[in-house]
């Protein structure tokens, strides 16, 4: 498998938003009590994968090899096939130094709580203490446009009800401050074009990427162009989908104290240093 893209052409970088980004109703921070303490449910932590640098032929060959090694009768393969215990050796090969994406992929991790805390400090000032109760209320107020929603009153009662803060919250809500999709894409373009080679972004179809959000991406330095595709028909996006699913599981297990040292070590070279992750 060739590892050197044609230097005369823009580099194709396939991006995919993780399927783990699907939200619970209202995208609320759900909490459960475990052994006397409250913790986030696993699904509330987010992972974004933002780059697989492969040609169509290389990505198709990668998928074919995964099928050969996994040997599942499934029509469409997903990361959960790779994450099964019986396929542990295939997973280690996929992420390992002899695998098809080593040195050709890039993962951007986001911890939802850190993202919330950073945004709250930016709006309310560095002196505010973002405990779980306040973060949950802040998350809710950024998700509702109903001023009479009890969530709004709860947040402002805790954070301070001023016209200035309400205006800042409204602005952050309109800017979709809790959605790291656009910043992650911009970071991927910056990362892959750092050597001066233009990037052509191939991304799965995203209805939310339009208007000002799409304009920010299209005006990014280093971007040669962008194309939205059906993830089921583009092997580059499918490989990126594999990676995001695997990265999500490994990163969340590590965050929750159940990490696998070998898999965490194999994932480490892919993780963006700018990630919002512990």
Q: Identify the pLDDT of residue 47.
A: 55
Q: What is the pLDDT of residues 3-36, one digit of tens each?
A: 333 333 455 665 543 322 333 333 444 332 222 3
What pLDDT does residue 25 have?
34
Rounded Cα gap, residues 53 and 74, in angstroms: 26
Is residue 150 very low, low, confident or very high in pLDDT (cuts 50, 70, 90)? low
**59, pLDDT greater than 70:** yes
Question: Would you state the torsion angle of the CA atoms of residues 54, 60, 66, 67, taken in this order, to the nearest 10 degrees?
Answer: 170
Tell how many helices (H) and how many strands (E) occur in the chain: 11, 7
Q: Give me the helix-helix angle, 88-95 and 235-255, nearest 10°.
A: 110
Give me the pLDDT at residue 153, please.
72
Give the pair of three-digit tokens for residue 256. Answer: 């929750």
The answer to whether the beta carbons of residues 148 and 213 sit under 8 Å apart is no
- Contact by Cβ (8 Å): 122, 114: no
Computed over every residue of the chain, the mean pLDDT equals 80
Range from 39-43, 176-180, 192-196, 218-222 that averages highest in pLDDT: 218-222
Q: φ, ψ for residue 160 (rounded to 5)?
A: 110, 115
**Does residue 266 contact residue 102 with C-beta atoms inside 8 Å?**
no
Percent of the chain topping pLDDT 70: 79
Read off the pLDDT band of 112 (50, 70, 90).
confident
pTM over 0.85: no
Q: In angstroms, how far is CA 39 from the centroid of its own chain? A: 21
């Amino acid at each position: 498998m060739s590892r050197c893209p044609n230097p005369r052409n823009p580099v194709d970088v396939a991006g995919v938003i993780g399927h783990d980004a699907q939200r619970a109703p209202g995208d609320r921070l759900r909490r459960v009590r475990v052994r006397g303490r409250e913790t986030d449910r696993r699904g509330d932590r987010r992972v974004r994968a933002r780059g697989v640098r492969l040609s169509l032929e290389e990505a198709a060959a990668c998928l074919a090899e995964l099928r050969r090694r996994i040997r599942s009768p499934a029509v469409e393969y997903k990361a959960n096939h790779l994450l099964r215990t019986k396929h542990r050796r295939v997973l280690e090969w996929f992420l390992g130094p002899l695998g098809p994406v080593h040195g050709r992929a890039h993962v951007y991790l986001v911890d939802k709580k850190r993202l919330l805390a950073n945004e709250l400090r930016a709006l309310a000032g560095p002196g505010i203490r973002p405990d779980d109760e306040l973060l949950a209320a802040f998350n809710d107020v950024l998700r509702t446009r109903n001023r009479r929603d009890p969530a709004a009153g709860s947040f402002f009662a805790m954070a301070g009800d001023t016209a200035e803060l309400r205006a800042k919250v409204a602005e952050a809500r309109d800017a979709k401050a809790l959605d790291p999709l656009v910043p992650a894409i911009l970071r991927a373009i910056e990362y892959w074009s750092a050597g001066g080679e233009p990037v052509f972004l191939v991304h799965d179809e995203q209805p939310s990427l339009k208007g000002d959000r799409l304009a920010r991406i299209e005006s990014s330095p280093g971007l040669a162009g962008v194309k939205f595709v059906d993830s089921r028909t583009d092997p580059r996006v499918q490989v990126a989908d594999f990676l995001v699913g695997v990265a999500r599981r490994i990163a969340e297990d590590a965050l929750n104290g159940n990490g696998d040292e070998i898999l965490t070590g194999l994932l480490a070279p892919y993780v963006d240093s700018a990630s919002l992750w512990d």
